[in-house]
Amino acid sequence: MTHAIEARIQELERYNPCLTAPADLDEFWEKTLADYSNKPLNGTRELVHTPMSGMNVYRTTYEGADDTPLHAWYLTPKSSNEEQFPCVVHYHGYGGSKGMPEHFAHYILMGFAVLSIDIRGQSGDTGTRLEQPYGAVKGWLTPGILDRETAYYRAITLDAIRAAEWASAQPESDPNRIFLIGGSQGGGLALIVSALSSVPKAAVAHIPNMCHMDFGILNSNSSLSEAAEFVSKHPEHLNSVLHTLSYFDNLNLAPRIKIPIMISCGLKDPCCMPETVYAAYNRIASEKEMKVYPFDGHWVSDGQNRLAMEFLARHAAFSTS
Amino acid sequence: MTHAIEARIQELERYNPCLTAPADLDEFWEKTLADYSNKPLNGTRELVHTPMSGMNVYRTTYEGADDTPLHAWYLTPKSSNEEQFPCVVHYHGYGGSKGMPEHFAHYILMGFAVLSIDIRGQSGDTGTRLEQPYGAVKGWLTPGILDRETAYYRAITLDAIRAAEWASAQPESDPNRIFLIGGSQGGGLALIVSALSSVPKAAVAHIPNMCHMDFGILNSNSSLSEAAEFVSKHPEHLNSVLHTLSYFDNLNLAPRIKIPIMISCGLKDPCCMPETVYAAYNRIASEKEMKVYPFDGHWVSDGQNRLAMEFLARHAAFSTS
Amino acid sequence: MTHAIEARIQELERYNPCLTAPADLDEFWEKTLADYSNKPLNGTRELVHTPMSGMNVYRTTYEGADDTPLHAWYLTPKSSNEEQFPCVVHYHGYGGSKGMPEHFAHYILMGFAVLSIDIRGQSGDTGTRLEQPYGAVKGWLTPGILDRETAYYRAITLDAIRAAEWASAQPESDPNRIFLIGGSQGGGLALIVSALSSVPKAAVAHIPNMCHMDFGILNSNSSLSEAAEFVSKHPEHLNSVLHTLSYFDNLNLAPRIKIPIMISCGLKDPCCMPETVYAAYNRIASEKEMKVYPFDGHWVSDGQNRLAMEFLARHAAFSTS
Amino acid sequence: MTHAIEARIQELERYNPCLTAPADLDEFWEKTLADYSNKPLNGTRELVHTPMSGMNVYRTTYEGADDTPLHAWYLTPKSSNEEQFPCVVHYHGYGGSKGMPEHFAHYILMGFAVLSIDIRGQSGDTGTRLEQPYGAVKGWLTPGILDRETAYYRAITLDAIRAAEWASAQPESDPNRIFLIGGSQGGGLALIVSALSSVPKAAVAHIPNMCHMDFGILNSNSSLSEAAEFVSKHPEHLNSVLHTLSYFDNLNLAPRIKIPIMISCGLKDPCCMPETVYAAYNRIASEKEMKVYPFDGHWVSDGQNRLAMEFLARHAAFSTS
Amino acid sequence: MTHAIEARIQELERYNPCLTAPADLDEFWEKTLADYSNKPLNGTRELVHTPMSGMNVYRTTYEGADDTPLHAWYLTPKSSNEEQFPCVVHYHGYGGSKGMPEHFAHYILMGFAVLSIDIRGQSGDTGTRLEQPYGAVKGWLTPGILDRETAYYRAITLDAIRAAEWASAQPESDPNRIFLIGGSQGGGLALIVSALSSVPKAAVAHIPNMCHMDFGILNSNSSLSEAAEFVSKHPEHLNSVLHTLSYFDNLNLAPRIKIPIMISCGLKDPCCMPETVYAAYNRIASEKEMKVYPFDGHWVSDGQNRLAMEFLARHAAFSTS
Amino acid sequence: MTHAIEARIQELERYNPCLTAPADLDEFWEKTLADYSNKPLNGTRELVHTPMSGMNVYRTTYEGADDTPLHAWYLTPKSSNEEQFPCVVHYHGYGGSKGMPEHFAHYILMGFAVLSIDIRGQSGDTGTRLEQPYGAVKGWLTPGILDRETAYYRAITLDAIRAAEWASAQPESDPNRIFLIGGSQGGGLALIVSALSSVPKAAVAHIPNMCHMDFGILNSNSSLSEAAEFVSKHPEHLNSVLHTLSYFDNLNLAPRIKIPIMISCGLKDPCCMPETVYAAYNRIASEKEMKVYPFDGHWVSDGQNRLAMEFLARHAAFSTS
């Protein structure tokens, strides 16, 4: 049965495109991470009112790639004892925001703390102090894209790594049970943080971006289409753009991942296309599972969210009998 | 300032179209409701596993307009004492479903019980035993539309009324604190149940449909476009269709509402158009508030959801200081 | 010349995908057909007025898969003698209806009788008494799709088979010259009835659906996209859905066809895609002809309709010199 | 009931825009028609094979505004006696063709003869010998539009008038029972021929164009959008274009109509918009009926086609009991 | 003739919506302009190679609202004598760039010098050092929009004013013959600079934005839809956003204009809608002319560009006999 | 790096589809060109006013394939001495026109004369005296397409060849330095004239059409979709249409090209698809260069225009140091 669908999936499972890793990929990240190893997070937190009496809501800020105050919600179950909670760090999709505390109520009811961060400059209340050194097209991807040091991806990757550190540093968090979750941009960040940081212990990357970006820039309608439009206006910068992207491509970084990973993929997703998701997934060497949805486009279904909840419960060692 | 936007809102606040109420509107509803007053709900409930340890999840069924088993989630905070919870009854949008228990976790954290029902035949796991007596176009609206007695709107209105009764009948629910909420189709149902049932004590109708349907069938892209397409194929049935709809039009039923109502409206909503929402809203005589979003289309924003949470908390007399 | 087009057609002529036939396919149909072999048609017919003085128009009903009265037009040339006419049975496309008697006037002028049926529940005046046992998405395809016994395709296949029997039973019809015709859904039904019934003597299937449905559900925008959407909402039911469809897939049933078949196909048809049409066509073992239109989408051209008229005239043994 | 729809229709019934008639409108047409009064039709006819044994099919040509051979089907019931038939002259929609004889089989079964003509240069097999004196945009409307004498509308109006004459001249036609029918462009031609020729005795204009063209060029997506695009490229020619159109605008010519007219209109038609159809309709002084479809766009429904058949049967004095 | 079009234009000529000017509008601009009156331009210029031997091309930078180096082309006719040229300052449309020197070759051939600037951060090679203090949606409009002092419009208005000063300061420019031109965003900037600076002597604003923005944010698909989307995500900021915009609205600033202005407008422009363009135009008290294109959308036609050339030639006092 | 993009380009560089050349291709062109070798151009020229004092503008006409007066601009630098200029002949894109003299100002500033012609019947002010012998679909491609002698492509190819001759015949032109340029249709014409005429000395074909048309008619959305639509309406003419096109297909004619050629191509161009452009390019035997834009659709970028200027300057032997 289901031959056409099975055939497509098998083809993806065998998909193994050329890598795009630059020669100094490891060196770049070693140096970059070392530069930040002693930089303080300069975090703040403030308990705020919520209509949800079962949850503590803290409005927090911390610093990531620079001194921009990055806003986030830190949420915990209301508990009288001094318990430490496993903590889920949430990265949102492109153009989104840290959302509302109520979006994470289910994790609180499961017994998790949650840190949901704004990705800088997008539609939360977090700005950015990154200087834009050159022209850009609409969107967040192309400002600074001509150089890996000024690239937006560099900033948000560091912001995301340090979010996990900030989550881990909260007294209510159990630093041995920090988990990552996100979809699309958030999935891409969950993967790259899994590759570059030792803080997280498992991660869920729904329909992740930042994978096999040479393919995505040519074929997808994702935020990479901004990079494509930029090159269309500045054709002389094609190689610089591809070079910059290669440092942040999970296709190249996936082998560094050491923790259990759940990834999802929609065969009809024109944004984070199955070729790109599988290309990175196929190179992960740690414990991993792929959830593939033959008829889904660029969205995360209720069922997939539930599977993520169960995956995280399992890794948090909650009893779920 | 903001003159163009203010002017548009003021125009809507004065909008007062002709009613479409048939002469026997009251008689129809008195008879209909009387017919069901002694019909048993034949409910079932079963506790099911959930990864959310802070919530009790019951898979329940009950009967509405006929003997179709209607599926619903009944959710409560996990509480050791014999407390009764105020209860929110949730009606979903057109084509949707009762969703997943985790969608209602925020209400649990507020201290509410929740009953979220499937609207029959739509994308939950609830079928329908309504016979289809005539042809129809795609969708749920037109099967049976030639007669008020066979109309889908009649069935789902009764299903929705009886959902409130079923919620009220649960031992964990406080029958004096039953509230209704829903968006689009769910908002329309929240309004019509508010008009026809004494069970609910307050209701939130986000971007409600089933309002001023003579206008909507002519101008909107809502599910009424199915009725329009049906008439396009069967022009001889125009009057029958309009006659059927008039019995379920909140424009006609709004004056019956006795409870506090919050309604929302997007000025750019091509589906539940502002003229239709205001037409019904303007005729409500009880305590009411309109939340208008100048640039929103057919969606319910996070901010509006938060306002609904606070509205319900207020009417449940939770302390929210 | 025409190499790109020829190359595409040759590729299709060689297309030979895996079958999806379940092990008990034959058994299922033997039992199903046996169950109906003695079920009476319970037909009715009534002569009605028409402005076309050269045609007799009968409004008829008959029973198919259950006791739903299925509406149809039975049309004959007005003839003083006791002649028996060859009869064309017409199945309409998805969402359509039996149409108007005038749509078949050309067949009357050719000397055919015509039976044009409503497919149940669609936009004619025929309802349906099928119970919907589970949720569904918009459209007719997914109600009951979890089981071959409750599937809509089962009902309409039986309705279509019995339409041919009803046509054959009319005194004006020559039972040795019953022919089938239809496009899209109607083409799919013409093929499946050709495979399962001995009544028809030739058939025309324009751009037929119900062919190679594992491919179509993944790639087309046909009514199978409803099944795809259903699975998208209920991913756990993927295999059930594919299993159900496999019993009604002309890819699996085509080798049973014993009569002459004309099929048409548009290379630009995104609905009944050429891969699906050719996959079934290539497995037909009887006399067959394919009419392929390189630039046509999902429509039946005037020229193809004329070819169908000539094909039917030939098989009715009309002199057409 | 139905107030929003009724209100819209009442508004249209009162719609009475300024006329755009040039001072010499009558003079232009008197001279033009006089110039053609003695021009021979130079017709040809040839009986051709058809699979429809109940119909005689003649491939004919005649001459209209110039010496271009205009192709048409002349169709009659096959009848042994020397009967004369009432005759329907059919004008097709924009970009269409005379179609196939089978499209008119229902009229043959009613007892009509039919003349279905190609509009020159469109997608039938009729070319055009009109010289194009200036640039144009895609489509047939703008070649020659700078002058009423070279305008395409002039040519096709004359072609259409002379089609009625050619129909009337056939020995099988009853010259006292010539009728016109058409939709969109064909409806516009039916109206203008009704206004300018004494040959037709009744006419059906479905969703007609060529009405209130100053409104249509500004607001519709009809073929007038070609004139709009032409002016957009040649803004200096705005007045010339409007001047040319005014000679062919049924808004100006409607009062000349002396015969019974049936017109149809879809309130959702963005092409032949209701304002334009009603503007012309409201100025007709002869017997008239409007069939309005509240939810129909730019199409002619089966029901409206049937009404047209009955209208023509009535005026042909067929007994239709 | 042409009544529907004339009627529409007359309606626009009478259009006179409420102003949105804040009480301290004048004060704000006086203070702002005073703050910059002594700020140096810190310009640079460098002659670069061009294949156009008749043109001198200088790559220049200058400073506007802050110390960001703003890139621009300064172009002059190649001339052996010490002549001073009248100079056209060009502002590009939203998302565009200063373009290529060859885009301005026609002005060189007319005898003008040209300064074509990048609008900061858009797709030229000019970045921006504006800090983004809060979240934003895609595009340039909403970063900083909560306060008139951080608003992007403030920065680019000052950049544009100072561009005129920089143009005037070049030795090849005749400071008494500085002219402005631009379309859409560029037209909006041409108007606001005309209102706020004494440097320009005439201006052409094709289809200008930044006019009647309370209307545009509600109704248009212009860049104001970014502000609408921002408010949709942050409804609490509606008034702040409208307040900020009001300081930069040419509706409020138009009466300050003292120089001859040519404006163009397309009646079918959904971006810079005719209501918004006329609202500002109608309030200009100086010499003015409106060029209205009944069928044009959001583009500038060749004919309108030619009219602009002739307008500028006239005001530069070129002999154009 | 850039593997996905490089891989795509390498695939195109190897693309080598079957030819579609008819047996008598050479014979057809020899005879056709011979027929015109003595036909006079019957040109006219008139100096007209321009606001660009540095340019002489001549409104000219000449004759091409028949006696239609074809309009063109002939433009030269204003120069006191008797210099002869190299001359660029410009062919516009489908549906366009010769444009305005200002569009070519950059070539004047480079020292070129320019002849920019109208393609007959399109949106310039040039009509056509070609008779249309058969029906057609909207657009210019299908009138006359059933025969190579009446085909539009034949006429415009001859018009374009003779434009180069007319350019060469002007006293201001250096007949040894005639160059061709155009995009899309204009690019197709530049190639076919390069293949058939000895007048041009180099040519630039941006995103050219008229290449590998058997592929384009099946797959592209170019003007060939008109031919596809024509065949869709007249399926019996498929072979005639393909036969006609084959005489004008640069895939077949490319090997005749003897001069340096620059071609551009966008990998995302759905109109002049990369397969079609490369198919012709790969068969050119003379000096050639391909400029490929990975993310560009059907447009010519500023950067590509600049490359074309430099290519032409090089071949005109201008010093560009």
DSSP string, F247-275: TT-HHHHGGG--S-EEEEEETT-SSS-HH
Q: Do E132 and A123 touch (CB under 8 A)?
A: no
Sorted by sequence, the CB contacts under 8 Å of residue C227 that are 6+ apart come out as C141, C142, C145, C217, C241, C245
Owner of token pair 């997808």: A220
Predicted pLDDT of residue B44: 98
Chain A CB contacts of C219 below 8 Å:
4
Shortest distance between the Cα of F150 and any Cα of chain D, in A, equals: 12
Is residue C42 scored above 50 in pLDDT?
yes
Predicted pLDDT of residue D3: 87
User: What is the DSSP-derived secondary structure letter of residue C103?
Assistant: G
User: With an 8 Å Cβ cutoff, is D137 touching chain F?
Assistant: yes
pLDDT tens digits, residue range A172-193? 999 999 999 999 999 999 999 9
Options E116, E168, E184, E264, the catalytic residue: E184
> What is the percentage of chain B residues whose pLDDT exceeds 70?
98
CB F209 within 8 A of CB F188: yes
CA distance F72 to F99: 9
Is residue A82 scored above 80 in pLDDT?
no
Is residue E2 scored above 60 in pLDDT?
no
Is residue F149 scored above 90 in pLDDT?
yes
Q: Do C2 and F214 touch (CB under 8 A)?
A: yes
Chain F CB contacts of C7 below 8 Å:
18
B216-230, C81-95, D45-59, D150-164 — which is least confidently predicted? C81-95
Q: Do D137 and F95 touch (CB under 8 A)?
A: yes
pLDDT tens digits, residue range C136-156? 999 999 999 999 999 999 999
Q: Which residues of E147-175 are buried (b: 16+ CB within 10 A; e: fewer)?
A: ebebbbbbbbbbbbbbbbbbbbebebbbe
Q: Give the pairing of strands F69-77 and F113-117.
A: antiparallel
Owner of token pair 């792929």: A290
CA F206 to chain centroid: 9
pLDDT tens digits, residue range F255-276? 999 999 999 999 999 999 999 9
Residue E116 vs residue A79, higher pLDDT: E116
Of F54, F99, F106, the CB nearest to E102: F106
CB D60 within 8 A of CB D75: no
Is residue A321 scored above 50 in pLDDT?
no
Q: Read off the tokens for E216.
A: 């545009």
Is residue A141 scored above 70 in pLDDT?
yes
The type of residue at F25 is L
Q: Do B127 and C131 touch (CB under 8 A)?
A: yes
The residue of C52, C76, C305 whose CB has the most chain D CBs within 10 angstroms, and thus the best one to mutate to test that interface, is C52
With touching defined as 3 or more inter-chain CB pairs under 8 Å, the answer for chains F and C is yes
Sorted by sequence, the CB contacts under 8 Å of residue D92 that are 6+ apart come out as D98, D99, D116, D117, D118, D119, D122, D124, D182, D185, D186
CB F75 within 8 A of CB F167: no
CB E266 within 8 A of CB F62: no
Options E159, E214, E249, E269, the catalytic residue: E269
Q: Do D106 and C105 touch (CB under 8 A)?
A: yes
Sorted by sequence, the CB contacts under 8 Å of residue C26 that are 6+ apart come out as none
Options E71, E90, E298, E315, the catalytic residue: E298
CA distance F309 to E248: 40
User: With an 8 Å Cβ cutoff, is E232 touching chain A?
Assistant: no
Q: Read off the tokens for F68.
A: 């239609």
The ipTM value here is: 0.96
Predicted pLDDT of residue F274: 98
Predicted pLDDT of residue B318: 85
Chain E CB contacts of F305 below 8 Å:
100, 102
User: With an 8 Å Cβ cutoff, is E261 touching chain B?
Assistant: no
Average pLDDT, chain F: 96
The residue of B49, B78, B79, B102 whose CB has the most chain A CBs within 10 angstroms, and thus the best one to mutate to test that interface, is B102
Q: Do D2 and B239 touch (CB under 8 A)?
A: yes
User: With an 8 Å Cβ cutoff, is A133 touching chain E?
Assistant: yes
Q: Do F54 and E54 touch (CB under 8 A)?
A: yes
Is residue A75 scored above 80 in pLDDT?
yes
Number of residues that this document lists for chain D: 321
Give me the residues of F, 89-108, that contact E with CB < 8 A. 99-100, 102-103, 105-106, 108
Q: Do D137 and F123 touch (CB under 8 A)?
A: yes
Helix (H, G, I), strand (E, B) or coil at F305: helix
Question: Which chains would you list as touching A if contact means 3+ CB atom pairs under 8 Å?
Answer: B, C, E, F
CA distance F60 to F43: 7
Is C123 marked active-site? no
Of C3, C267, C303, the CB nearest to F235: C303
Count of pairs with CB atoms under 8 A, one residue in A, one in B: 79
C60-69, C310-319, D241-250, E125-134 — which is least confidently predicted? C310-319
Q: Do F77 and E100 touch (CB under 8 A)?
A: no
Chain C CB contacts of A294 below 8 Å:
218, 228, 231, 238
User: With an 8 Å Cβ cutoff, is B233 touching chain A?
Assistant: no
Chain D CB contacts of C125 below 8 Å:
none
pLDDT tens digits, residue range C212-260? 999 999 999 999 999 999 999 999 999 999 999 999 999 999 999 999 9
Helix (H, G, I), strand (E, B) or coil at C113: strand
User: Would you call B42 exposed, middle or buried from its count of C-beta atoms within 10 A (0-12, 13-18, 19+)?
Assistant: exposed
Q: Do D135 and F143 touch (CB under 8 A)?
A: no
Chain D CB contacts of C55 below 8 Å:
109
Shortest distance between the Cα of A160 and any Cα of chain E, in A, equals: 17
> Rounded mean pLDDT of A121-140?
98
Is C298 marked active-site? yes
CA F305 to chain centroid: 16
User: With an 8 Å Cβ cutoff, is A23 touching chain F?
Assistant: no
CB E61 within 8 A of CB E162: no
The residue of A24, A212, A214, A236 whose CB has the most chain F CBs within 10 angstroms, and thus the best one to mutate to test that interface, is A214
Q: Do F109 and E313 touch (CB under 8 A)?
A: no
Q: How far is CA B207 from CA B272, C286, F101, F227, in A?
A: 6, 58, 55, 48
Q: Do B105 and A100 touch (CB under 8 A)?
A: no
User: With an 8 Å Cβ cutoff, is B221 touching chain D?
Assistant: no
Owner of token pair 């509009």: D119
CB D144 within 8 A of CB D111: no
CB E63 within 8 A of CB E165: no
Of E95, E123, E233, the CB nearest to A123: E233
pLDDT tens digits, residue range A100-124? 999 999 999 999 999 999 999 999 9
A289-293, D75-79, E288-292 — which is least confidently predicted? D75-79
Options F118, F214, F269, F296, the catalytic residue: F269
CA distance D69 to D60: 9
Output the tens digit of pLDDT for each of chain D's 321 residues. 458 999 999 999 999 999 999 999 999 999 999 999 999 999 999 999 999 999 999 999 999 999 999 999 999 999 767 689 999 999 999 999 999 999 999 999 999 999 999 999 999 999 999 999 999 999 999 999 999 999 999 999 999 999 999 999 999 999 999 999 999 999 999 999 999 999 999 999 999 999 999 999 999 999 999 999 999 999 999 999 999 999 999 999 999 999 999 999 999 999 999 999 999 999 999 999 999 999 999 999 999 999 999 999 999 998 654
With touching defined as 3 or more inter-chain CB pairs under 8 Å, the answer for chains A and E is yes
DSSP state letters, A169-224: HSTTEEEEEEEEEEETHHHHHHHHHHHH-SS-SEEEEES--SSSHHHHHHH--STH
Shortest distance between the Cα of A257 and any Cα of chain F, in A, equals: 22
Predicted pLDDT of residue E148: 98
> Rounded mean pLDDT of E234-249?
98
Which pLDDT band, with edges at 50, 70 and 90, does A13 fall under? Answer: very high
Q: Give the pairing of strands A69-77 and E202-206.
A: unpaired
Predicted pLDDT of residue E80: 67
Q: Read off the tokens for E219.
A: 């109704």
- Give me the torsion for CA of A296, A302, A306, A308, rounded to 10°: 50
CA F247 to chain centroid: 15
Predicted pLDDT of residue F318: 84
Pairs from F189-192 (Cβ < 8 Å, separation ≥ 24): F189/F91, F189/F119, F189/F156, F189/F157, F189/F160, F190/F91, F191/F250, F191/F253, F191/F254, F191/F257, F191/F261, F191/F263, F191/F280, F192/F157, F192/F160, F192/F248, F192/F250, F192/F253
> What is the percentage of chain E residues whose pLDDT exceeds 90?
96
Q: Do C126 and B143 touch (CB under 8 A)?
A: no
> Rounded mean pLDDT of E144-167?
98
Q: For A130, which residue in chain E has the nearest alpha carbon?
A: E131
